[in-house]
Every structure is written in structure tokens, then in C-alpha cells.
Amino acid sequence: MPSYAAPLNHINFVLDEVLGYSQHCQANGSTMLDTTTKGAILEGIASFAEEQLYPLNASGDTQGCSWNDGAVQTPKGYQQAYQQFMTDGWPGLSAPVAQGGQGLPESLGVVITEILGSANPAWYMYTGLTKGATLALEAHGSTELKEHYLPRMYSGQWSGTMCLTEPHCGSDLGLLKTRASLRPDGRYAISGTKIFISAGEHDLTSNIVHLVLARADAAPSGTQGLTLFLVPKWLTDEQGQLRERNAVHCSSIEHKMGMNGSSTCVMNFDGAQGYLVGELNQGLRCMFTMMNHARLTTAMQGLCMGEMAYQTAAAYAKDRLQMRSLKGPQFPELPADPILVHPDVRRMLLTMKALNLGNRALAYYTALQMDVAESSPDPSKQKAASEQLAILTPICKAFITETGIEVTSLGVQVLGGHGYIKEWGQEQLMRDCRIASIYEGTTGIQALDLLGRKVLASQGSLLSGLKQMLQTQIAETQQIPTLATHANRQARLVEAWQTIAQTIALRARDNADEIGAASVDYLMLSGYILHGHFWLKMMRSALAEPTDAPLQQSILHTGEFFFQRLLLRADMHLATLQADATTLMSPLTEHF
């Protein structure tokens, strides 16, 4: 039967050996987080995830959430796990000390996201959304709002949401109709309906703090007229005691393909009391503070569920007996060989493992750039990190979730018929993972953001720092005989990465659809090139250790598999990008 064990060996390898995490923390103000402290924190959260969250994963999926007269009940055991999570002090780990937190870096929170999200992704949704809401409030809220709400949200006593989507619009936020009318007391009356609101209503916390995009009176149309408001479920007194119910209610919850333990709500705001966050008509800028964090958290879901799928598939492949090896019996004492001896099973498992490890390194590196952008004492490093984040965030969100879907699908395939039934949990992982490439901006939207708004709009300047990092790594690795061939291939791809962007820009002068036609292939190409970069780093780190160390051997073997079998996908995306938009846009509407 399946089980989850936090892959602390791989996590620590990427953090310590590949990314130099201790030095990173020292350079960015987290002097208290040494290797020993970090190890103790990760072991503690791993125990919580393995012992309390993972056992609720399958039962939470089967039971799901229930709605009754506006109230939502989470699956059995969720409340107790949340109370333990709060009692242990985990919600405030990376919160500012001034607000009652422990002041540890955001990057450590991303690592913890992997462990919690792998054990129970639906349960983790309730805590992950609160983190994004606190970031937006910290950055844009008034002193009064921050002092009243943030300590209670950082402690886990209150939770948070982000309310964007409405029935008539999804990602096109310029169509939002929710209204905000100024009241005589300086507060606002918020009226409208929001849909697909994760954790909009539940029974885990005493209060829920909604961050709502709405259009104030006389605001301009489109996204320029959007403002961000804080709308609590319960109005409270100055001491934070619940006073009266605000005019916001959950009218229903969605019946979904997966993530059944996470409530997805339709929220009605009927003149609810709201508080201005930031400035009028600057809501989208304020919301992006939490949206960018949400996108990286969503990206992690691809890794989380991919990790769990791999662990189950690898354990099954070692135990399941079926047929003999093509070379003859490998375990003659058994009636058949374990399916791990078969090349195609190994192909699937190595694909899962290589994508998971590459995604982990990519996500963790991106999280480190969040630290630098926020905390580095060097303004030039802050600027460089912010520019890298502009490129890395859409790549992480789309590439890691798309490959996460592939990995969970392979997890079903490795188990064959047993993967298709609930007993082994693989079909749940595949269902749960499918939403990750959709919410917080679909793959197509992330790709347009990357290619159109970031690469082409900056005329390639935003790519320069990232490209320089890749080229430095290539030059160093070309001096290592066992890795030189891989480094040379990577060098060719990095040059083609820039060249193809220039080609698309030239085509787009005559036809703007060229950007949309090329964007997803360009994003996926970018993801594989970044995987190539991190696989070179991981293999170099492994070579620096004793070659008989099992972990290092595993890294080297998996890296060889990546370069010989998976990096070829980058060439496919490059070839596709040579085609223009004609084949996509020439068919008439009636042809569909």
C-alpha cells in the first residue's frame, strides 16, 4: 500500500550541495538559519506531514467537503490536523518577527510547501492561500489593517483568500463587475459574486479574511479601474473578538474532478463591509503581490503530486512480479521478476524521477531569488533577482504543473490496472494534479506573459541575467570531461533560445498572433533549458562527492538519462517554433 516519506535526502542535496543554502541565508539576513537548524525544522515538518496529513489524504478525497446553509464542513480529521499545525507554530515560520512570526526566509516556506503539499495537497490549500493574502496585506495594507489582521493570520487563528474570478469572466479581470461603494464612515460596501474561491468557507479557523478585487464608484473600465479590498467573514472589535457576521456568504461549493478536500466556493458579497487595501484603481498591482506567490505555490503542486506518484510507483515496481526479463530470469528464486527489470518501466520511472528532481531545483532556485529580491542588502542584487523572477515565475507555474501532470499520469501507467483504481492513490494524484495547470492563470496565459510581456516587451533585456548565469555554468562545466558533451548541447540550446525569440519578434511585427502561436512552445523550451542548467549543477555537485555514495550515483545516472532522453524534447519545441501561425489561424471558424 502507498505511503509518503519526505525526500529529505534529495531536498537537502539540492539546498545544500547545489544551491549553497547556508551561504545564501547568511548573505540575505537569515543568519540564524544554519544547516543544523534547517535540518531540525525539515525533520519536524516531515514528521507532521507523514504522520498526520498523509493518512487524511485518501479519506479526504473520498469524503470531500459538505455544504449546508452557507457553512462548509471539511473532511474528518482536517480540523484536528490544523489545530496541531497551529499549536506547533508552523504558520508563522517565515512571518516577520514584528508580527509574531519567526522571521525565517520565504524560501524555507517553499520547501515546507513541498513536504506538506505532497502529503495532502487539498489540506495544504487552506494554509497556502493565507500566506499569499498576508504578503499582499503586508505590502499594501494600512498600518491599522496590518496590526489588526496580520498577527492573527500569521498565527493561523484566521485564514485568508483571494477573490478574483466571477461567473462571466475568468482570467480577463477587466470584465469584473463587483462594486465597491464608499460609505459615510470611510469604509466600503462590497457587492457582487465571486466563483472558484478556494477556501472561501470552511471550519478550520474562526475568521476568514477575503482580499477582493472590485470596482469603486466612478472607476474607469478595464483593469485600470480595479481596487483591492479586505472583507472579513466576521467583523471584530479592537481586541479581535468576533462581533457580528459580515454580509458575505458561501452560496455553494463546486463538485470537482479532484482536490475534493479543498472547498471551492461561490461567494456572495451583499453590501459587505470592506476596507481599502492600497490605493484606488491600483488593485491589480496589489493583487499581483499575492498572485506571484500563489503561482509559485501552484507550481509546487506539480512537484508535490509528482513526488508522491513516483514514490508509490517505484515501491510498486520493486514488488510487483510479472513476466521474466528479456535477458532471462533475474530473480530465479521467484515465480516471476519484479516489473522493475523491464526497460519500459524503468523509462517511466526515470522520466518521473528526472522531471521531479529538475523541478525541485528550479522551484527552489526561484524561491531563493524571492529572498534576494526582498532581503538582499545590495540594491543591484535585488534588481537582478526581481528581473529573474519576472522570467522564472511563469516558467515555474506552467512547466512544473504540465510536467507534474505527465508524472502523475506515468504513475498510473506503472501500476497498470492497479493504478486506475482508488486503492493505490495514483488516480487521485492524477485527478488532483490536473487543476494545477489551470488555476492562477492557465499554461497559455503564463506563456503569453513570459514571451509577450517579459521577453519581447523588454527586447530580451530581462533574459540577459538568466542567460549569463546559464553561460557561466556551461563554460565551467565544459572543463569537466565527463560532462563536456552535455554542456556543449546546453550551449547550443541557450543560443537558440535567444535566436528564436528574435525570429518570433520579427514575425510578430506583421502578425501579432505569432506571439500567441509560439508562446507555449517557447515556455516549454525554456523549462527544458533550465532543467538542463540545473542538471549540470546537480551532476557537478554529485561528482564532487565520493562516487560510491548511493545518492550521488543515483543523481549521476538520472542526469545521464535526462540529457540522453528528455532534453531532446527541447529540440522538438525549437523545431515547432520554426513554423509560423498560419496552420493555427488559417482554418475558418466553421471548420471547428
Residue pLDDT, tens place only, 267-315: 999 999 999 999 999 998 888 877 778 899 999 999 999 999 999 999 9
In the numeric block, the cell 523541478 is attached to 359
Which run of H or E residues covers position 278?
none
The grid coordinates listed for 564 are 540522453
Q: What are phi and psi of 180, to 5 degrees?
A: -130, 115
Task: Report residue 194: phi and psi, to 5°.
Answer: -115, 140
Weakest mean pLDDT among 35-39, 48-52, 200-204, 409-413: 35-39
Question: Residue 464: what pLDDT?
Answer: 92
CA–CA separation, 436 and 257 (whole Å): 12
Residues 6 or more apart in contact with residue 586 via CB below 8 angstroms = none
Give the count of alpha carbons within 13 A of 436, CB side only: 34
- Is 166 one of the annotated active-site residues of the chain? no
Catalytic residue among 17, 402, 427, 440: 440
pLDDT tens readout for residues 510-563 = 999 999 999 999 999 999 999 999 999 999 999 997 766 899 999 999 999 999
Q: Provide the pLDDT for residue 403.
A: 98
Predicted local confidence at residue 547, as pLDDT:
62
Distance from C-alpha of 176 to C-alpha of 167, rounded to nearest angstrom: 9
Instruction: Calculate what percentage of the chain has a pLDDT beyond 90.
Output: 90
Instruction: Quote the percentage of the chain above a pLDDT of 70.
Output: 100
**Arithmetic mean of pLDDT, 307-326:** 97
CA–CA separation, 46 vs 457, rounded Å?
A: 42
Q: Which residue in 34, 33, 45 sits closest to 6, CA to CA? A: 45
Name the most confidently modeled range: 25-39, 112-126, 537-551: 112-126
The rounded distance, in Å, linking the Cα atoms of 217 and 2 is: 54
Residue 97 pLDDT > 90: no
Count the alpha carbons within 13 Å of 164 in the hemisphere toward its beta carbon: 20
Q: Indicate the pLDDT class of residue 173, thresholds 50, 70 and 90.
A: confident
- Give the per-residue pLDDT at 291: 77
Sign of CA dihedral 374, 379, 380, 383: positive
**What pLDDT does residue 524 have?**
98
CA-to-CA distance for 171 and 188, rounded, in angstroms?
25
Confidence check: pLDDT of 327 > 70: yes
pLDDT of residue 170 exceeding 80, the answer is: no
What nine digits make up the cell of 94? 517565515
The chain-wide mean pLDDT, for the chain, equals: 95
